Amino acid sequence: MQHLAVTGALDVRDTILAANANGTVLAVQAGNSKAALGHPASAGATLDVGGIAGIVDYDPAELVLTAKPGTPLPEIEALLAQRGQHLAFEPPAYAALLASTGIATLGGTLAANASGPRRISAGAARDHFLGAQAVSGRGEVFKAGGRVVKNVTGYDLPKLLAGSFGTLAVMTEVTVKVLPAPETTATVLVRGLSAVAAIRRLTEVTGTSIDCSGLAHLPPAVAARSAVTDVASAGSSVTALRVEGIAASVQARVATLRGLVAGLGDVGLLDHDASRTLWHEVREVSLLPRQGIVWRVSVPPKEGAAVAGALAQTTQSEVLFDWAGGLLWIALPGDAPQADLVRAAIAACGGHATLMRAPAEVRRGVAVFQPQAPALAALTRRVKEAFDPAGVLNPGRMVV
């Protein structure tokens, strides 16, 4: 496959125009850390935008950062940390999950709408995506959004680009909202709860004023893989409730949480450093087996335990529960995706299932992303045709 490295927006435009003229289809990549997501690319050339990198502008007082899409996430996170700020949506790299050696970039993160455990309180990546400059599949350079929400007019195209996996346009500059990083973090642990009891209590907590920024349940086998001693040594399930903020607020909310979970099981507490380790493991989905199939399933939180229970009756599954039961990471042994069983388990509650890890030959043969209803599928096709009528960008990445 031909490798086309570009270093600027005009290079991207010229490459896409040439692809349209020559009938070449392009696989778009930057750090290439998420190449194993979606259907394998069926392209004649690789459009490498990793060279379009660097911080364009950072205004800590306005909580806004503009960068080129190929900028590595670690570089951005290090810069923000110097000013006590962070990307609040807690972007995952999925290096362990995907066995990837690539480097996660800001553009790739936004293109995948990749969001971590803090999504339940801070929102998804798309909610922090303020503006973009990009080149469509037609070879048209366009700009959308702005540095602040109140200045944005017209269609909110950054929201459309988020989660499009590079199938609509190639971003050449992005602007995101940043927020103050929490002063400290603590995590209340409850050991020994069943999934049903844990999800019931986690969903109750979401309706309180405690403002937890992480709500997860780890069954025994999942908890045992943690590098945090208080989690791995539990010998049982571990339910984790994270609170963040200034020290006095965290202390008060921890006390309230302890009262809410008193009597449910053995209660423990992780300090700041141990909390960071645990939630990094949850974010990166590194507590599941390193081999086998992994599905990412989104359901109404109150349905999470029931969906996991239904799958346990028909498969040898392991489940990591995040987002108070609204996000299930489901690991299946072997290379059989068992898509029919997974999607049957979520059909009644209107969930969505995405095949996150599987060999390329498996991903070629199944619907990796949740099949859309006919009306929505037709709208999706029209959007794709409007941005990329010749289908030169990441063909087949999202839909076979």
Handedness of CA 96, 98, 103, 105 (dihedral sign): negative
Residue (of 100, 129, 87) closest to 112 by Cα position: 129
Per-residue pLDDT averaged across 222-247, rounded? 97
pLDDT 10s digits, 372-391:
999 999 999 999 999 999 99
Q: What are phi and psi of 370, to 5 degrees?
A: -60, 125
For the cut 60, the answer to whether the pLDDT of residue 88 exceeds it is: yes
Task: Write down the pLDDT at residue 150.
Answer: 54
Distance of alpha carbon 115 from alpha carbon 106, whole angstroms = 12
Distance of alpha carbon 165 from alpha carbon 167, whole angstroms = 6
For the cut 80, the answer to whether the pLDDT of residue 176 exceeds it is: yes
Per-residue pLDDT averaged across 39-49, rounded? 88
Contacts of 199 (CB under 8 A, 6+ apart): 217, 301, 302, 304, 305, 321, 324, 325
Per-residue pLDDT averaged across 229-239, rounded? 97
Distance of alpha carbon 342 from alpha carbon 328, whole angstroms = 11
Distance of alpha carbon 358 from alpha carbon 332, whole angstroms = 10
Task: Write down the pLDDT at residue 388.
Answer: 97
Residue 20, token pair as written in the block = 């349209």
Average pLDDT, the chain: 95
Contacts of 246 (CB under 8 A, 6+ apart): 182, 183, 184
- Could you please report the per-residue DSSP string of 259-295? HHHTTTSEEEEE-HHHHHHHHHHHHTTTTS-SSSEEE
Read off the DSSP letter of residue 362: H
pLDDT 10s digits, 266-299:
999 999 999 999 999 999 999 999 999 999 999 9
Task: Write down the pLDDT at residue 30.
Answer: 94
374 burial via Cβ count (<10 Å: 0-12, 13-18, 19+): exposed
Beta strands in 7-44 (DSSP E): 26-29
Distance of alpha carbon 170 from alpha carbon 334, whole angstroms = 35
Per-residue pLDDT averaged across 330-336, rounded? 96
Domains of the chain: 2-180 (3.30.465.10), 184-283 (3.30.70.2190), 293-365 (3.30.70.260)
Q: Which long-range contacts (CB under 8 A, 24 or more apart) does 13-20 make?
A: 13/135, 13/139, 13/140, 13/141, 14/139, 15/47, 16/47, 16/135, 16/136, 16/137, 16/138, 16/139, 16/170, 16/392, 16/393, 17/139, 19/45, 19/390, 19/392, 20/137, 20/138, 20/139, 20/390, 20/392
pLDDT 10s digits, 129-148:
999 999 999 999 999 987 76
pLDDT 10s digits, 386-397:
999 999 999 888
Q: Are 84 and 108 in contact (CB under 8 A)?
A: no
Q: What are phi and psi of 132, to 5 degrees?
A: -155, 150
Q: Give the 3-state secondary structure of residue 129.
A: strand
